[in-house]
Structure 1
Amino acid sequence: MVDIVHEAAIKPASAKHAAAVRARVPLTAIDASQWRALAQRAVEPNGYYLPAWELAVSASARGRTDASALAAYEGSSVRLIGLMPVISLWRALKIPLPALVSAHPYGTLCSPLIDRDVPIEAATRLLQQAREAGAHALVLNDVALDGAAMTSLKQVLDDDGLKPRVLNSYIRASLDATQDGETLLHEALGTKKLKELRRQRHRLEEHGPVAFEVARKPDEIRRALETFLQLEASGWKGQRGTALVQHAGDATFIRRAVPALAETAQCEIVTLSAGTTPVAAGIVLRHQDRAFFFKLGIDERFAKYSPGVQLTLDLTRHLCTDPAIASADSTASADHPMINPIWRGRFAIGDVLIPLRRNDPVVALVHGALAAHGAAYAAARRAVRLLRK
């Protein structure tokens, strides 16, 4: 069995290892034009696996560098029909078992890119690439459980007599952008809440005219990005040391990814200002007919005016009037206190264990190890919360 756990220690001696190396390649080895073409044909949008974004993540983002890829090609041609960025289970969680884990693209969505023209062939070949790489299982984190990509994988697994196992799941907020924005907001928040938010906005106008701006072009988006980074670092994320600009690798990643996606109209930055003062900003990715609300930064000096909510209201109206956008993924955690009351659509996100061989005892070992790791992680988070209190 090929050791896909301690990759640096593998010696290039056996034919089996050579096959495993061919089955799993560096992300940088994927032809960028083929990757972009696949993204246009993907059966399910995922802005975080667009090449300009994921290559920037893999190049420098803290703890997310040097991802590999399972790549599926149609027949003997060079047409890329499937792509799944991965890392080893050892690297992901320090679990020494032969499994691959979806590479985390900084956004909370890891649904692989699968060609809508040949989804079953693409899914079949991706799973076969994982087997040839030496994996006994795949762990797909943060995938849309009822999405088209997972549906394709499930069909191939069912044909092979295999069943995926959902390790955990939650319900995430989304926006149906085909609706009228004002109607949607009124139905979601009600007359009383909207009246209160209008009152807060009027008070915010005492600091200068309130303006909602959308930066799209590379030059303007670079300036808007620096505004966002300053806002994010000025708040609680900065206090906890988790703001993007506080880590050189993260700052390099975001400053590379955002302008690159702006070149292909796949990213925009929305900003809310009072006079000359930016009070909130957010990064939004765009892939096919879906938007992805990546991050939000606010100036907490204006917190009593709910600047993050005010920006999200304007963003909702903006997306609902854009004919190119049919839906938006909040990419937020479960029960998010800000976005959930506003974006009332819901869909299931989860972590899935995919067995690659029938009756394989290694899969049970992987499942048990993941359960133990999850329990330990949950206990640690509870302890941290208690210490903070």
Structure 2
Amino acid sequence: MSHLPAASSFHVATSRIWPMAGTDQPIVRILRHADLTAGDRAHWAALSALAGAANVFAQDWFMQAALSHDDGRSDEVLLVVVSPVDGPWLGVMPLIAERGFGRWRVRVWRNWSATNQFLGTPLVSAQSADIFWDKLLAFLDQRTGAEIMLHFERFDADDPVCIALFDRCKREGRGFHAIHCHDRPAQRAGEDVQGRSDAKIRSRLRSLLKRLEQEHGPVAIGILDPGEPCLPWIDTFLEMEAAGWKGRGGSALGNNCATEGLFRTVVARGHANGSARLATLSVNGRAIAMSSWFESAIWGHGFKMTFDEEYRPYAPGQLLMRAVRDTIAHRTDMSFDTCVPRDASHCHSLWQGNRRIIDGVVAIGSPWQRLHFDALIRARAAYGAVKARLSGRRP
């Protein structure tokens, strides 16, 4: 069992409750998105307002849009809710059954996330995090079928909800294994952005901006006002992205009905509820770079950015991201996660801090199933070591 320093079907009916208990005791409920009642939606919205600041992607307005614009498997997604009977939700986590774990043919439960949902930490009130994991893991132990693990992806390793999971596994002696960790460019609340950023980058971007203005006209950076309609911004963004390398490669949002639908819906909803920020860099009145992100009380999360490739020599994306970074810096009480790997783009050298993201697995089920889990983890490690030696890499 390692700790951080850092499929079949469930065969359950919707709204199933476990265990039967007094109304003051937290219980586990299994819900499907299509069957949510008005009361369920109200509880989800209330929990989002209470606990959604650290992960905007887990809030009800985003997650319900994600389940409506999914990859065709929404009917397989189970919302596992911990709450008192008919009481406010303490936490919710979407799960889906899988019949494989990488190359290994075993049955697992995995936290479900939509495409372009960049953080998977579940929506749980911090003060109820230990209760949530206690009830959820006990439920999976007793009511699971052949599944031997809970596979989670894209958790914030420093989030109290994630730390509560690590701590509970340690106290119970429950198998836990970190599969992958990486740091994403981020800015922590209170950091001195200007003091830590690279002077060479700042100088280069100033020169590019000056050259852009000299050769093409006045440059302006604007953020869409909350009272303005966002549909024209959305349309322009999708057109610009489709005209670039993503469009040619078939990976633009508009190349897939589900991803375009999700983008349109969450940007519109986020703009309406005050969560979305929609920025545009224009030259002589023409948009040449656009970026979107979401803000809560304590965290901002990057979403989507695109630029006009005709202006690539001027690095319009980097110019816009520098403006976004400077805008974020004025919110000294808010951290910002770019939601992009550190090596994905040169412009992310603008962000000097990090956010640790972790994927991992937790053992569930009977003693025999936990032995199966331990054996699989050992076999996976041995296979990785052999593969690394054969390729000349360090394991």
TM-score, structure 2 normalization: 0.81
Return 85-94 or 253-262, whichever deviates more: 85-94
| Counterpart in the other structure of 1:385 | none
Whether 1:25 and 2:34 are equivalent positions in the alignment is: no
Return 58-67 or 31-40, whichever deviates more: 58-67
Counterpart selection for 1:115 from 113, 125, 128: 125
Whether 1:266 and 2:293 are equivalent positions in the alignment is: no
- Once the two structures are superposed, the pairs formed by residues 334-345 of structure 1 within 5 Å of their partners are 334-345=342-353
Alpha-carbon contact 2:300-2:337 (below 8 Å) kept? yes
| Counterpart in the other structure of 1:73 | 82
Q: What are the superposed Cα offsets for residues 136-186 of structure 1, whole Å, 9 maximum, x if unpaired?
A: 311001111232121111222223221421011112110134345xxx245
* Structure 1: gaps of 5 or more residues: 383-389
Structure 1 18/82 Cα, relative in aligned 2: closer, same or farther at 3 Å? Answer: closer
Alpha-carbon contact 1:81-1:122 (below 8 Å) kept? yes
Return 209-218 or 298-307, whichever deviates more: 209-218
Alpha-carbon contact 1:53-1:258 (below 8 Å) kept? no
Alpha-carbon offset, residue 103 of structure 1? 0.8
Matched to 1:243, the amino acid is: A
Whether 1:164 and 2:187 are equivalent positions in the alignment is: no
Using the alignment, how far apart are the partners of 2:260 and 2:52 within structure 1? 31
Using the alignment, how far apart are the partners of 2:12 and 2:357 within structure 1? 38
Using the alignment, how far apart are the partners of 1:356 and 1:280 within structure 2? 47
| Counterpart in the other structure of 2:204 | 196
| Counterpart in the other structure of 1:362 | 372
Secondary structure of 2:340's counterpart equals coil
Alpha-carbon offset, residue 321 of structure 1? 1.4
Using the alignment, how far apart are the partners of 2:100 and 2:228 within structure 1? 37
Alpha-carbon offset, residue 82 of structure 1? 0.9
| Counterpart in the other structure of 2:185 | 173
Alpha-carbon offset, residue 213 of structure 1? 1.3
| Counterpart in the other structure of 1:154 | 166
Alpha-carbon contact 1:23-1:129 (below 8 Å) kept? no
Secondary structure of 1:220's counterpart equals coil
Alpha-carbon offset, residue 69 of structure 1? 3.5
| Counterpart in the other structure of 1:281 | 290
Alpha-carbon contact 1:165-1:353 (below 8 Å) kept? yes
Alpha-carbon offset, residue 310 of structure 1? 0.4
Q: What are the superposed Cα offsets for residues 208-244 of structure 1, whole Å, 9 maximum, x if unpaired?
A: 3211111253753222222221222222211211111
Secondary structure of 1:121's counterpart equals helix
Structure 1 287/66 Cα, relative in aligned 2: closer, same or farther at 3 Å? Answer: farther
Report the RMSD for the aligned CA atoms in angstroms: 3.3
Alpha-carbon contact 1:43-1:148 (below 8 Å) kept? no
Using the alignment, how far apart are the partners of 1:44 and 1:164 within structure 2? 27
Using the alignment, how far apart are the partners of 1:370 and 1:221 within structure 2? 48
Alpha-carbon offset, residue 287 of structure 1? 2.9
Using the alignment, how far apart are the partners of 2:347 and 2:312 within structure 1? 16
Using the alignment, how far apart are the partners of 1:80 and 1:242 within structure 2? 37
| Counterpart in the other structure of 2:318 | 309
Structure 1 11/164 Cα, relative in aligned 2: closer, same or farther at 3 Å? Answer: closer
| Counterpart in the other structure of 1:141 | 153
Secondary structure of 1:322's counterpart equals coil
| Counterpart in the other structure of 1:236 | 245
Give aligned pairs, total: 363
| Counterpart in the other structure of 2:137 | 127
Using the alignment, how far apart are the partners of 1:237 and 1:372 within structure 2? 38
* Structure 2: gaps of 5 or more residues: 1-6, 20-27
Secondary structure of 2:346's counterpart equals coil
| Counterpart in the other structure of 1:248 | 257
Alpha-carbon contact 1:217-1:263 (below 8 Å) kept? yes
Structure 1 186/304 Cα, relative in aligned 2: closer, same or farther at 3 Å? Answer: farther
Return 268-277 or 336-345, whichever deviates more: 336-345
Using the alignment, how far apart are the partners of 2:51 and 2:376 within structure 1? 30
Return 53-62 or 294-303, whichever deviates more: 53-62
Matched to 2:87, the amino acid is: V
Alpha-carbon offset, residue 306 of structure 1? 0.7
Return 71-80 or 117-126, whichever deviates more: 71-80
Alpha-carbon offset, residue 249 of structure 1? 1.5
Secondary structure of 1:280's counterpart equals strand
| Counterpart in the other structure of 2:23 | none
Using the alignment, how far apart are the partners of 1:243 and 1:43 within structure 2? 28
Alpha-carbon contact 1:89-1:95 (below 8 Å) kept? no
Q: What are the superposed Cα offsets for residues 217-274 of structure 1, whole Å, 9 maximum, x if unpaired?
A: 3753222222221222222211211111111121111111211122221112111111
Matched to 2:210, the amino acid is: H
Using the alignment, how far apart are the partners of 1:372 and 1:78 within structure 2? 47
Using the alignment, how far apart are the partners of 1:361 and 1:118 within structure 2? 30
Q: What are the superposed Cα offsets for residues 354-384 of structure 1, whole Å, 9 maximum, x if unpaired?
A: 1124741332466479779999xx9xxx9xx
Secondary structure of 2:54's counterpart equals coil
Using the alignment, how far apart are the partners of 1:309 and 1:36 within structure 2? 36
Using the alignment, how far apart are the partners of 2:382 and 2:220 within structure 1? 50
| Counterpart in the other structure of 1:82 | 91
